[in-house]
Amino acid sequence: MILPFTVLRRLDCVLVPSKEAVLAEKQLREGQGLDPEPFLLRVAEQGFCNTSALSMKRLMGDQDNIGENLRSYIQAFTPAVRDIFESFQFHLQVDKLDKAGLLYMVCERFAQIDLHPETVSNAEMGVVFEWLIRKFAELSNETAGEHFTLRELIKLMVNLIFIEDDQALTQGGIDRCRAQASDGSDPGNDWGVEWLTGAAMKNESSSSPGPMAPAKPRLPVSICLLK
């Protein structure tokens, strides 16, 4: 229950700045007899949008119809997002909460959480999702490592990959290719780029005793991401 509601709140916050513009664009394009979706995605500046006038905070204005309005809000997302909630079997969870009289309370709690990208970055949000997945895997007696790899372990693996190339990577014109998860969720990606550009090591020990010496710049380095 917590994971899909977290996803919903994040998407809800991401779309807040463009909400009114998307609704206006929808009305305009439908009046012109055009398929509004491509135009709405451009206005939203995202790969998804929602065409409902509702939001999680606006859902709080009608407690008696919270179940119906929440389902309507979910259905107003673009197909790719609806598929996510279908994978969660979110409708079943909504039904259970609604019947138990808990749906409004749960929605209200999540509506109070600020998950806007300016407050919680994509990297931080990724850590939140990974923690939730690990936590629920543990509660269901599954092996957490099947779903979650510690960030410290990933960082260690990135360092091991490049550690022997340190001297070579201080030279210009070096090409290095790394594989990246096709869904863009590879947490080693950020550390790999950071390591290659030298941002991860602002200081290195000099060969002679004394204070820390500045790191040798690893730029320019050509980075190829294989998806």
Number of domains in the chain: 3
Q: Are residues 141 and 155 in the same domain?
A: no
Compute and round to an integer the Cα radius of gyration of the chain.
Answer: 23
The mean pLDDT of the chain is 75
The answer to whether 20 and 50 are in contact (CB under 8 A) is: no
170 and 67 share a domain?
no
pTM of the model: 0.62
User: Same domain for 184 and 169?
Assistant: yes
Take residue 158 and report the two structure tokens written for it: 């990135």
The residue assigned the tokens 């009305």 is 27
Domain hosting 194: range is: 151-226
Same domain assignment for residues 7 and 100:
yes
202 shares a domain with 173? yes
Is residue 17 domain-shared with residue 78, that is, in the same domain?
A: yes
Q: Last residue of a domain, which of 116, 133, 161? A: 116
209 vs 167, 204, 205, 213, CA distance in Å? 20, 12, 8, 10
Q: Could you report the per-residue pLDDT of 196-218, keeping only the tens digit for each? A: 555 444 434 444 444 444 444 44
Query: Residues near 49 by Cβ (< 8 Å), separated by ≥ 6?
Result: 15, 18, 22, 37, 40, 41, 43, 77, 78
219 shares a domain with 155:
yes
Residue ending a domain, choose from 116, 138, 173: 116
> Which portions of the chain are predicted below pLDDT 70?
136-154, 158-159, 161-227
What per-residue confidence (pLDDT) applies to 8? 92
Whether residues 106 and 209 fall in one domain: no
Are 58 and 132 part of one and the same domain?
no
Q: Are residues 160 and 86 in the same domain?
A: no
209 in the same domain as 134? no
User: Are both 103 and 195 inside the same structural domain?
Assistant: no
Give the model confidence (pLDDT) of 38-65 as tens digits: 999 999 999 899 999 999 999 999 999 9
